[in-house]
A and B are shown apart, each in its own frame.
Chain A
Amino acid sequence: MIIYLLCLVLFCCGIYCILRKRNIIKIIVGIIISEYAVNLFFILTAYRVGGRAPIFSSEAEILNMVDPLPHALVLTSIVIGLATTALLVAIAMRIYEKYGTFDITKIRELKG
């Protein structure tokens, strides 16, 4: 149970970072943190008490194994996260070129 809670704490840290930090790089970091929190949670759904790795072997019949699917899914989602992060960082760099600042509250020409 405690591990789920830690996962939640991590997620909240990420969200806090997105909401409260002004530096856009920190916002991106916040996004990454909460993304990993979600990934972690997804992995946790695979966990079975006393389960073993889902590897077939001829030695013994497997009675209790963890769910292999979420691992595959999380790999995909990590890759997606990577793409998003790369794009965000690239945009952040360009923003710095144009606006000369990383402060999100100063990048507000579009409003109303």
Chain B
Amino acid sequence: MMKGSIIPLFVAIPLAGAFLTSFIGKKIEKLPDGLGLFTSFILFVLSLSAVRLYNIHGILTYSVGGWRPPVGIGMVLDGLTAFMLVTVNFVAFCIVIYSINYMKKFTSKWKFYTLFFLMLAGMNGVIITGDIFNLFVFLEIASVASYALVAFGTERHELEAAFKYAVMGTVGSLFILLGIAFLYGYTSTLNMADMGNILATNGINNIVLMVSVLFLMGFGLKAALVPFHAWLPDAHPSAPAPISAMLSGVLIKSLGIYAICRIFYNVIGINPVMSSMLMFLGTLSMVIGGLLALRQWDLKRLLAYSSISQVGYIILGIGLGTPLGILGGLFHLFNHSVFKSLLFLNSGAIEYSTGTRDLREMGGLAQRMPVTSTTGFVGAMSIAGIPPFSGFWSKLIIIIAAVQAGRYGYAFLAVLVTILTLAMYMKVIKYAFLGNLQEKWNKVKEIPFFMKLSMGILAFVCLVVGLVAGMAFLTGMDQTFIHRASETLLEGTRYAGIVLKEIK
């Protein structure tokens, strides 16, 4: 029990942070920043130590309130969890650094931090919980916080986007709850490991298939898979830039993709039909998101559509179900978290300095904002899959995996979308940073220090991950950290046995 006691901290700390910020942050002006930075830093360090703990001890569990699962609520730390925790908390940490300067233009920073940490608590909760209803609760905490954050600016577009997002998100949650109800009725348990065990012995039947459709729709909506994606291009651009980064960077992944992975691999158990369903949806999102992104002139909206497209890659990789595919999918998940956050922060930096998001009004900003343009360039190259940046490797792995699995058509489409991605980011760079500086931007200033720092860290990670991945790729990649995460998924429903053994 001692070993696992780190696990609930991932929920407790951000909740405490949210509470403290709202309680005392109102009165002291600088406090929310300091508190936010402190909390998110601790979370980041904890997530790293969780990886270490997992590497030493293997799967760890924690029983909430001392009630042993499957009766009580269990929390599990395994490879996938550790991986997701690092991703989420790292990005959150960078975003908090960025917000110190950026959020100055909004009043009441403490509200922002409160909602932010609530959302973070929800995401961490979704990741570490081992109980399916608990997962739903945390998912709703994160979602509701994110609806509120999208509306944070309370202007026309923010409100419209938040409303659409909230309605669609709620409908998605409804279907998830319905699915949970069916599953509970069928298995009489809520513990995911236990459920997985029972489902594995009973085999696949129509109820399970129906539930999987409900989950696919519900979590697919959270992950913004086409055709459930329509809220994303409204919601993500409307939020303040740090929140856009958080939403696109990690929220759709922890709420959508992580949940899909966990439920389809470890609870229901993947079968060929579902696998091809996932691949189809992934490819569809990839292509449609890519095509739509290309026609946007609003920078953040372009980035949002591109998120849909990149999520498609991740789902394609995961849907392949082969070790290489899952590895590629998860690696791309991490990379996308990093570079999409970077790009959204970048767009925020441009908006911060110039006050516009329209690409046609920009131009030549590289001359005035060298740090922004350099980091933006790194992010764009990374997402476009140009070696040696990180995105190249994950796309390479996904394409190789698709070919290995004999899915030539999907591999070809993945390649085509790579070209589309390149084209759309070349468009961004050309219109935003290159060309002649317009007169009205002559007095544009570079952004403040903390924003630069945060973007610098993310850009650095893009490059370093690319180089490290390259080395790992050329020398053999059995021992990497993501590999452990993909092993968790590959164990499939045997996960249940391992977790339950650990509990008893």
Q: Write out the residue numbers on chain A whose beta carbons fall within 8 Å of the beta carbon of B284.
A: none
Q: Write out the residue numbers on chain A whose beta carbons fall within 8 Å of the beta carbon of B164.
A: 110
Supplied contacts A28-B167, A84-B140, 11 more A-B pairs, CB within 8 Å: A31-B171, A34-B171, A34-B174, A38-B181, A67-B188, A73-B133, A76-B133, A84-B166, A91-B162, A92-B163, A107-B160
Let me know if A95 and B159 touch, CB within 8 A.
yes
A–B Cβ pairs within 8 angstroms, 28 of them: A18-B171, A24-B163, A31-B170, A31-B171, A34-B171, A42-B180, A42-B181, A45-B181, A45-B184, A45-B185, A69-B184, A69-B190, A70-B184, A73-B133, A73-B184, A76-B137, A77-B136, A84-B173, A87-B147, A87-B148, A88-B163, A91-B147, A91-B163, A92-B163, A109-B157, A110-B157, A110-B161, A112-B296
Let me know if B166 and A98 touch, CB within 8 A.
no
Is B156 an interface residue when CB atoms closer than 8 A count as contact?
A: yes
Is A83 an interface residue when CB atoms closer than 8 A count as contact?
A: yes
Chain B window 137-148, contacts with chain A (Cβ cutoff 8 Å), 1 for yes, 0 for no: 100100010011
Q: Write out the residue numbers on chain A whose beta carbons fall within 8 Å of the beta carbon of B161.
A: 110
Give the Cβ gap from B146 to chain A, nearest Cβ, in Å.
11
Give the distance in Å from the alpha carbon of A83 to the alpha carbon of B188 in the complex: 28
Q: Write out the residue numbers on chain A whose beta carbons fall within 8 Å of the beta carbon of B185.
A: 45
Let me know if A94 and B167 touch, CB within 8 A.
no
Give the distance in Å from the alpha carbon of A106 to the alpha carbon of B258 in the complex: 36
Give the Cβ gap from B122 to chain A, nearest Cβ, in Å.
11
Contact of A80 among B137, B188, B234 (CB under 8 A): B137
Q: Write out the residue numbers on chain B whose beta carbons fall within 8 Å of the beta carbon of A84.
A: 140, 144, 147, 166, 170, 173
Is A99 an interface residue when CB atoms closer than 8 A count as contact?
A: yes
Is A66 an interface residue when CB atoms closer than 8 A count as contact?
A: no
Q: Write out the residue numbers on chain A whose beta carbons fall within 8 Å of the beta carbon of B144.
A: 80, 83-84, 87
Give the distance in Å from the alpha carbon of A28 to the alpha carbon of B91 in the complex: 34
Q: What 4 pairs between A and B have smallest CB-CB spacing? A: A45-B185, A42-B181, A110-B234, A80-B140
Chain B window 266-304, contacts with chain A (Cβ cutoff 8 Å), 1 for yes, 0 for no: 000000000000000000000000000001100000000
Chain B window 457-499, contacts with chain A (Cβ cutoff 8 Å), 1 for yes, 0 for no: 0000000000000000000000000000000000000000000
> What is the size, in residues, of chain A's interface with B at 8 Å between Cβ atoms?
34
Is B178 an interface residue when CB atoms closer than 8 A count as contact?
A: yes
Let me know if A38 and B160 touch, CB within 8 A.
no
Is B238 an interface residue when CB atoms closer than 8 A count as contact?
A: yes
Let me know if B133 and A98 touch, CB within 8 A.
no
Residue of A with least CB distance to B233: A110
Give the Cβ gap from A14 to chain B, nearest Cβ, in Å.
8
The DSSP consensus for interface residues of chain B is helix
Give the distance in Å from the alpha carbon of A73 to the alpha carbon of B133 in the complex: 8
Is B55 an interface residue when CB atoms closer than 8 A count as contact?
A: no
Residue of B with least CB distance to A88: B166
Residues A57-112 near B (CB distance < 8 A): 67, 69-70, 73, 76-77, 80, 83-84, 87-88, 91-92, 94-95, 98-99, 107-110, 112
Give the Cβ gap from B282 to chain A, nearest Cβ, in Å.
24
Q: Write out the residue numbers on chain A whose beta carbons fall within 8 Å of the beta carbon of B170.
A: 31, 35, 84, 88
Let me know if B167 and A18 touch, CB within 8 A.
yes
Give the Cβ gap from A81 to chain B, nearest Cβ, in Å.
8
Contact of B177 among A27, A38, A88, A94 (CB under 8 A): A38
Q: Write out the residue numbers on chain A whose beta carbons fall within 8 Å of the beta carbon of B171.
A: 18, 31, 34
Let me know if A94 and B181 touch, CB within 8 A.
no
Let me know if A42 and B160 touch, CB within 8 A.
no
Known contacts A45-B181, A84-B144, A91-B166; decide if A110 and B151 are in contact (CB<8 Å): no
Residue of B with least CB distance to A98: B156
Q: Write out the residue numbers on chain B whose beta carbons fall within 8 Å of the beta carbon of A112.
A: 295-296
Is B154 an interface residue when CB atoms closer than 8 A count as contact?
A: yes
Give the Cβ gap from A76 to chain B, nearest Cβ, in Å.
6
Q: Which of A34, A69, A91, A107 is the most central at the interface, judged by chain B CB atoms within 10 Å of its CB?
A: A91
Is B155 an interface residue when CB atoms closer than 8 A count as contact?
A: yes
Let me know if A110 and B238 touch, CB within 8 A.
yes
Give the distance in Å from the alpha carbon of A98 to the alpha carbon of B163 in the complex: 13
Q: Write out the residue numbers on chain A whose beta carbons fall within 8 Å of the beta carbon of B188.
A: 67
Give the Cβ gap from A36 to chain B, nearest Cβ, in Å.
10
